[in-house]
Each structure stands twice: as structure tokens, then as C-alpha cells.
Structure 1
């Protein structure tokens, strides 16, 4: 295997899990924000129920977009794994974990 393929595989082995992890972090942050907004609307006195609805709908749309992005990146991951098998002869049954981090989501999955 040429060093170019090896270097590329190493870089992708680091970057793909990092992208997946970052999207998960963003999804968690948006979910926490959603909880905070809905809780504030409920708990703050004299705030009508309709107040903040537009913001909640926009945030739900952003959350949905992150879920879509997560699915797309997972599909890219699978595509890259297939390319690695075809081009470099890798026999990839498991992909490397994010360097130095074992996330709760990985433990659950």
C-alpha cells in the first residue's frame, strides 16, 4: 500500500468519527436548548402559551436537520468503508473509535 493511501486512510479514520461525534454534540446541545426554552415558557409567569412557539418550531427544524445530517454522515462512513475495501483491500469490520474518547453513545450503541 502506498503511503498516500495509508496517510489518507489514517486521516479519514480520525476525521469521520470526529464529524459523527461533533454532530451528536450539536444534537445534544440543541435538545438541551429545546428543553430550556419550553421549560422557561412554562415556568415564567404571565407568558402566554403561544409565546415562543415560532422559536420552538425553528429549533425543532434545526434539530431535524441535525438528525438528517447525522444519517448522511453515517452513510458517508459506510461508503468510505466500501471504498477502503475496494481500493486498499482493508477488511474493516469495526471502525476506529474517536481517539482518546469513549462516549456514552458508543457504549449504548
Structure 2
């Protein structure tokens, strides 16, 4: 494999997991915001249940959009892995767990 392809592959092996981690972080932040908004509505005396519903609905739509983004990035990851195999003969059994500069991922709950 040429030096250029090696360098490109190394950059992508850092960038793709970093992007995945950033989307996960955004989804976690949005989920926390949703919890705070719903808790505030519930805990504020005199606020009817219908108050803030549009805001909560927008947050839910934003969460769904981020889930869609996450899925698309995962597809890109798979596409790039396949391109690496076809173009460079890379035998990528596993991708890096996370980028070195990215946040740690949450453990899977079973």
C-alpha cells in the first residue's frame, strides 16, 4: 500500500470513530435536556400537562433525527471499511474502539 493510502487510512480510522462518538455525545446531551424539560414541567406548580408539549415534541423529533444521523454514520463506516478492503487490500477485522481524542463510550446494558 502506498504511503498516501496508509496516511489516508490512518486519518479515517481516527475520524470515523470520533464522529460516531460525537453523535453519541449529542444524543446523550439531548436526552438529558429532554429529561430536564419534562421534569421541570412536572415539578412546576400550576403548569398544565399540555403546556410545553410542542417543545417536548420538538426535542423528540431532534432525538429521532440524531438516531438517523448515527445510523448513516455507521453505514459510512461500513462503506469505508469495504472500500479499504477493495482498494488497499486492508484486512480490517476490527475498527479502533474509539478515536484517541474522542470521549469514552458507554458500556452496553444487558
TM-score per shorter chain, which class? Answer: over 0.9
What whole-Å deviation, never above 9, does each CA across 1:51-96 have from its counterpart, x for those lacking one? 1000000010000000000000000000000000000101111001
1:38 aligns with 2:19: no
Q: Is 2:16–2:77's contact at 8 Å kept on the other side of the alignment?
A: yes
TM norm structure 1: 0.93
1:50 aligned residue: 50
Mapped to 2, the partners of 1:26 and 1:74 lie a distance apart of 16
Mapped to 1, the partners of 2:46 and 2:103 lie a distance apart of 44
1:5 aligns with 2:24: no
Q: What is the root-mean-square deviation of aligned Cα atoms in Å?
A: 1.5
Which structure would you say has the larger RCO, counting Cα contacts within 8 Å and 6 or more residues apart?
2
Match of 1:29, SS state, is: helix
Mapped to 2, the partners of 1:30 and 1:51 lie a distance apart of 20
TM norm structure 2: 0.92
Gaps of 5+ in 1: none
Q: Is 2:30–2:59's contact at 8 Å kept on the other side of the alignment?
A: yes
What whole-Å deviation, never above 9, does each CA across 1:7-45 have from its counterpart, x for those lacking one? 110110010000000000000000000000000000011
1:103 aligns with 2:104: yes
Aligned length: 108
